[in-house]
């Protein structure tokens, strides 16, 4: 492989939310990501990447005890895309990373998680914004750098769909203009 190249895909799992009572598992996952990044540099031209699937609908979910069922049913609401991933989506991402289409991708970690935020609090805010269709606006003196952030309902004039705006204080949108 060193002469002709090749591709390796390491499978890790979510570690970005912290893992109370499972620090040993989180440390192993983070170590695998570090190994992936290091091996990509040291083993080039072999491409080394990692994948980090989020919540995936699989037969493995059936193995959890009955008291976990309510929690498992609540997971799609925490995913901005509104559903769990599928085994075929994980397979397709693996094929991509192993294929010539990813010939210049190495040292990367592909998160396949439906855009789940990195923290539970972010997840709650994301779900609220996503489902309520709100946007952020700021008011106040731009010269002073002050601003008050407000959340207000917003909808695109073109489609009627909810619009989300995430812009810093220097953006024209942060001065109250809606994104279209």
Q: What is the pLDDT of residues 2-34, one digit of tens each?
A: 788 899 999 998 788 777 888 899 899 999 999
pLDDT tens, position by position, 61-101? 989 999 998 999 999 999 999 999 999 999 999 999 999 99
Global pTM value: 0.65
Predicted local confidence at residue 131, as pLDDT: 55
Contacts of 115 (CB under 8 A, 6+ apart): 79, 80, 81, 126
Kindly report, as residue ranges, where domains of CATH 3.40.50.720 are found in the chain: 6-119
Q: How many other C-beta atoms are found inside a 10 Å radius of the C-beta of residue 109?
A: 15
User: What token pair was written down for 160?
Assistant: 């009627």
d(CA 177, CA 11): 43
Residues 112/85, Cβ–Cβ less than 8 Å: yes
d(CA 61, CA 161): 33
Does the pLDDT of residue 147 top 50, yes or no?
A: no
Topology of domain 6-119, CATH: Rossmann fold (3.40.50)
Predicted local confidence at residue 22, as pLDDT: 87
């Amino acid at each position: 492989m060193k002469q002709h190249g090749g591709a390796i895909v390491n499978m890790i799992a979510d570690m970005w939310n912290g893992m109370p009572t499972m620090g040993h598992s989180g440390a192993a996952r983070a170590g695998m990501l570090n190994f992936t990044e290091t091996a990509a540099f040291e083993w080039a031209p072999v491409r080394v990447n990692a994948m980090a699937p989020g919540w995936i609908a699989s037969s493995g979910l059936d193995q959890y005890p009955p008291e976990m069922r309510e929690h498992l049913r609540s997971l799609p609401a925490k995913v901005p895309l509104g559903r769990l991933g599928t085994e075929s989506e994980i397979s397709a991402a693996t094929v991509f990373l192993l294929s010539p289409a990813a010939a210049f991708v190495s040292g990367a970690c592909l998160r396949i998680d439906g855009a789940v935020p990195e923290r539970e609090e972010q997840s709650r805010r994301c779900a609220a914004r996503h489902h309520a269709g709100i946007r952020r606006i700021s008011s106040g003196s731009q010269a002073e750098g002050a601003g008050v952030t407000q959340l207000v309902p917003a909808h695109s004039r073109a489609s009627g769909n909810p619009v989300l705006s995430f812009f810093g204080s220097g953006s024209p949108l942060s001065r109250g203009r809606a994104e279209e």
